[in-house]
Amino acid sequence: MIDHAVQGRRSRMQQARCQTCSLSSLCLPLALELDEMDSFDAIIRRRAPLKRGEALLRQDDAFTSVFAVRSGSLKQLSSEGDGEDQLTNFYLPSELVGLDGIDEQRYPGSIIALETTTVCEIPFDHLDQLSERMPELRNQLYRSMSKELRDDRRMLRLLSRKTADERLASFLVNLSTRFRRRGYSPYSFRLSMARADIGSYLGLAVETVSRIIGRFQQQGLVEIQGREVNILDYQALQGLAEGEGCQA
């Protein structure tokens, strides 16, 4: 009897989590009704927090689940077999990890914690079954997949057409937008990633990243101390990201 009572309390706590999560309006439960939220919450597994540098999954692991970032941040590293890792993505709270593994049923990159990070694991077979009877959940899943494709195309354009300054400006503007979407300041935020990670993501040497940051500070676009970023002239930074040049 005691065991059943404990299990009942745990079950109620589990069911309340999505409903009380501050990210639920940004994550897959978006627009679900209360009873649908309970059904969705029932398939979620809460993982133990990841420490900085710890892997959530490894490249070529069998695809089984997608993950919603609850707190912290992650990076994706992909290796093409030449021994060099390419940093291909960053993930912030409410964003989904692992959608790119659906097609080949393998994760195409390793996912590593940039800081202490918590995630919700969503087994994809359960998610697929649930989405068949919940149109809003299915539509939100499609929107997430569409966003992933759009971000991939944006990254290709970033690396193929933009100058080094434009790449870094685009990166900062993109982070600003993502923080704004989560209700945080779009002008003052902390970078969880090192400059070497930023350089790998943008296809730039870490020395180039440091030089550009120094130039941006001289131009009055940003103030960066350590990993603390303050955007001083958002319009000029956005103009530079769009290839309009610095108006400072």
Instruction: Residue 209: give its domain's CATH number.
Output: 1.10.10.10
pLDDT-above-90 percentage for the chain: 56
11 and 119 assigned to the same domain: yes
Report the number of distinct structural domains present in the chain.
2
**Residue 149 placed within a domain:** no
**Residue 226 placed within a domain:** yes
**Residue 99 placed within a domain:** yes
Domain that holds residue 233: 162-241
For residue 112, what is the domain's CATH number?
A: 2.60.120.10
pLDDT at position 181, please? Answer: 86
pLDDT at position 183, please? Answer: 85
pLDDT at position 7, please? Answer: 45
**Residue 136 placed within a domain:** yes
237 and 179 assigned to the same domain: yes
Q: Which parts of the chain have pLDDT scores under 50?
A: 1-16, 247-248
pLDDT at position 10, please? Answer: 42
Q: Please, which residues bridge with residue 67 across strands?
A: 97, 121
